[in-house]
Structure 1
Amino acid sequence: MYRKLLRFLLAFSIIALISAYFIYRSVAGPEILAEGAETVYVEIPHGTSFEALTRILLAKKLIPNEAVFRSLAKKLNYEADPVRSGRFAVEPGMKLPDFIYRLRNGKQAPVMVVLTTERELTDVAAKVARFIEPDAQAFIQLFQKEDFLDSLGYTKENLMSLFIPNSYELYWDTSPRDFIRRMIEEHDIFWKRKDRYIRANQLELSQADVYTLASIVEKETLQNDEKKRMAGVYYNRLKIGMKLQADPTAVFASRDFNTNRVTNYHLQVDSPYNTYKYKGLPPGPIAMASIASIDAVLNHEQHDYLYFCAKGDGSGYHTFAKNLEAHKRNAEIYRENRRKRGK
């Protein structure tokens, strides 16, 4: 009798251990993703219910057993409606309980939002929307909200000067307002770095003015090593009250962004952005200005040049002149170079 009891207890223990092992394997393992696989990211929109999340995970094949997932989620107090939004990483070798803890605690995987030299606010909206949850329209609506912009000290015309081209680490579920707040922080850091705001004051220009002038330089030349000289020309014109007569502003005013050449049509467009028509800076930037262009304005070359003309030799560089007579000679050289190149 005693031996039978021992055999029964031994058999029961073995069965219990095997059962526990399989329960462990179904709950804590196997891994959601096998070792060596690529990390998978799960994007959970605002307002997602637990049921909707379960469908998302099933569609991505990240739940090895739906019943086990539901049971474990309940035990780990992860059944809230809605669940936390965000972008979450599933690394190779991750166990289901660890993934549920990550979802519950809201530990997101950030995204890199890359801003380059976008032309208009709608382009900024479209670019940002490629990286985070809100769509482009949500950003455009905020960019046009005058009372909100006024509270920040911006207008629709100069809001572009807030954005500094760079790569920014953000969370996928960042709201448009939070995005703007982050850009304000980055903007302030940028202008404090290298005492840029001090240099702007020395030039008797606001930060927005520097940015606007930089946006013109940005569209005038692709050669960073001549941007300081180019900026010096425009600064000289500003100081003596001469019209900037910047071709890129005429293009912006006409909205003819696909043109290859500026014609009399562009120069005659009646718009405050057309610096052939109106003195001083336009109401705001004509594009997002690169850091190189901003620094070129702040540290522009000091010279007596008032004119410049493309060389026309395909180099992308310009020839500078101090007076109109020299500029006309440079313009003739430009035309001759183009003729030689069959342009």
Structure 2
Amino acid sequence: MRILKSLLLLGTVLVIGFVAWMTYFVITPLQFPTKTVEFEIRAGSNLRVISQQLVEQGILEEPWSFILLVRAMKMAGGIKAGNYLLESGQTPYELFTTLSNGNVTQDSITFIEGWTFAQMRQALNNHESVRHLTMAYTDMEIMQNIGATESSPEGLFFPDTYFFSRGMSDQDILKRAYIAMQGRLQAAWEQRAPGLPYATPYEALIMASIVEKETGKASERATIAGVFLNRMRIGMRLQTDPTVIYGMGEAFDGNLRKRDLLKDTPFNTYTRAGLPPTPIAMPGLAAITAALHPEQTDAFYFVGKGDGSHQFSRTLSEHNRAVVRYQLKGGNAR
């Protein structure tokens, strides 16, 4: 009897202790690493996975108390998938009600292939659902804040549609786009065709940005990449207008003149050999793929036909004939 009473007493103490701990846990405000935290629950995630995510993002210190809370409420299957904007100071109970009520706050922004970094920043500045943290920052301050080590932001962000919780900062969105580009570029680099004249993935990114700006017809990307690589291999200058236009900056008025082609800048590929020092725009995955898997072509020249497509030529004499034929229709020779 004495042992039974001791066991009952111990059980009672444990139950009281458990209830006291759970009560304390349920009503104690949580302190997040930042004022707000974006939290995504993917479809099909179970309670244990969700609780571990909460720990990894610094929302919870350990997962088991939250798991016990949800199971005690018999709502283990009640948490809904989606993107949430969680605020520091919520109690675990308020956190649970947010996740179970499905109070998702999601918006999106699209970065377009061929955009410059300045255009990306403008799109972020114009978006009403974005928290504008970087408006007064220089490009290099943004780069430092997102952990980028490159000397220029141009071309380093992956063009895509990004979904985010309202109130997410422009800096966080840029960091996501930067990480996305790093992952896509590295994966493509590891699968590149043999014998390419690039020393680094960054050089391939520069070429991809040129291909992106030169291509009006998707099916020609790999051919245009092949033409430029043919030129690089024999030491011929790339002679591509989009790099000249980029180097002109705000001085470009929509018309590219002969004097512009003769004026030397770091981006003038008519006056300087090799690749320009940085990308000239944000290339999409198709342009990156073309730069790393160029078409095997004997062409060294191309001229625009005026409909977005090009006429490719092997020799300068062939090219000159194509120029005569298509420039009369408004095409552009390369």
TM-score relative to the length of structure 1:
0.60
- Kindly indicate whether the alpha-carbon contact (under 8 Å) linking 1:149 and 1:155 is maintained by their aligned counterparts in 2: no
Assess, with a 3 A threshold, how the Cα gap between structure 1 residues 178 and 222 changes in structure 2: closer, same or farther.
same
Count of residues paired in the alignment: 241
What is residue 199 of structure 1 aligned with on the other side? 192
Query: Structure 2: where are the runs of 5+ without partners?
Result: 1-34, 37-83, 87-92
Assess, with a 3 A threshold, how the Cα gap between structure 1 residues 315 and 212 changes in structure 2: closer, same or farther.
same
Match of 2:272 among 272, 275, 278: 278
What is residue 326 of structure 1 aligned with on the other side? 318
- For residue 239 of structure 1, what is the amino acid of its counterpart? R
What is residue 292 of structure 1 aligned with on the other side? 286
Report deviation, 1:154: 0.9
What is residue 73 of structure 1 aligned with on the other side? none
Query: Is 2:102 the partner of 1:110?
Result: no
What is residue 158 of structure 2 aligned with on the other side? 164
Assess, with a 3 A threshold, how the Cα gap between structure 1 residues 149 and 302 changes in structure 2: closer, same or farther.
farther
Rounded to whole Å, the distance in 2 between the matches of 1:302 and 1:131 is: 47
Report deviation, 1:272: 0.3
Assess, with a 3 A threshold, how the Cα gap between structure 1 residues 106 and 143 changes in structure 2: closer, same or farther.
farther
- For residue 237 of structure 1, what is the amino acid of its counterpart? R
What is residue 307 of structure 2 aligned with on the other side? 315
What is residue 232 of structure 2 aligned with on the other side? 238
What is residue 264 of structure 1 aligned with on the other side? 258
Report deviation, 1:204: 4.3
Assess, with a 3 A threshold, how the Cα gap between structure 1 residues 226 and 108 changes in structure 2: closer, same or farther.
same
Per-residue displacement from partner, 1:189-212 (whole Å, max 9, x unpaired)? Answer: 32355x443317852422222222
Rounded to whole Å, the distance in 2 between the matches of 1:155 and 1:132 is: 29
Match of 1:133 among 130, 133, 136: 130
What does 1:147-158 correspond to in 2, within 5 Å? 148=144, 152-156=148-152
- For residue 190 of structure 2, what is the amino acid of its counterpart? Y
- For residue 316 of structure 1, what is the amino acid of its counterpart? G
- Kindly indicate whether the alpha-carbon contact (under 8 Å) linking 1:111 and 1:131 is maintained by their aligned counterparts in 2: no
Query: Structure 1: where are the runs of 5+ without partners?
Result: 1-45, 48-85, 89-96
- Kindly indicate whether the alpha-carbon contact (under 8 Å) linking 2:197 and 2:229 is maintained by their aligned counterparts in 1: no
What is residue 306 of structure 1 aligned with on the other side? 300
Report deviation, 1:307: 0.9
Asked which structure has the greater CA Rg, the reply is 1
Query: For 1:145, what is the secondary structure of its paired residue?
Result: helix
Assess, with a 3 A threshold, how the Cα gap between structure 1 residues 201 and 154 changes in structure 2: closer, same or farther.
farther
- Kindly indicate whether the alpha-carbon contact (under 8 Å) linking 1:125 and 1:140 is maintained by their aligned counterparts in 2: no
Per-residue displacement from partner, 1:214-240 (whole Å, max 9, x unpaired)? Answer: 221222221011111111111111122
- For residue 122 of structure 1, what is the amino acid of its counterpart? A
- Kindly indicate whether the alpha-carbon contact (under 8 Å) linking 1:121 and 1:140 is maintained by their aligned counterparts in 2: no
TM-score relative to the length of structure 2:
0.62
Per-residue displacement from partner, 1:53-108 (whole Å, max 9, x unpaired)? Answer: xxxxxxxxxxxxxxxxxxxxxxxxxxxxxxxxx869xxxxxxxx9999549x9964
Query: For 1:315, what is the secondary structure of its paired residue?
Result: coil
Per-residue displacement from partner, 1:84-134 (whole Å, max 9, x unpaired)? Answer: xx869xxxxxxxx9999549x996412222111353222111213316433
Per-residue displacement from partner, 1:292-343 (whole Å, max 9, x unpaired)? Answer: 22222111111121111122xx32211111221111111111234459xxxx
Assess, with a 3 A threshold, how the Cα gap between structure 1 residues 146 and 116 changes in structure 2: closer, same or farther.
closer
- Kindly indicate whether the alpha-carbon contact (under 8 Å) linking 2:116 and 2:282 is maintained by their aligned counterparts in 1: yes
- Kindly indicate whether the alpha-carbon contact (under 8 Å) linking 2:114 and 2:212 is maintained by their aligned counterparts in 1: no
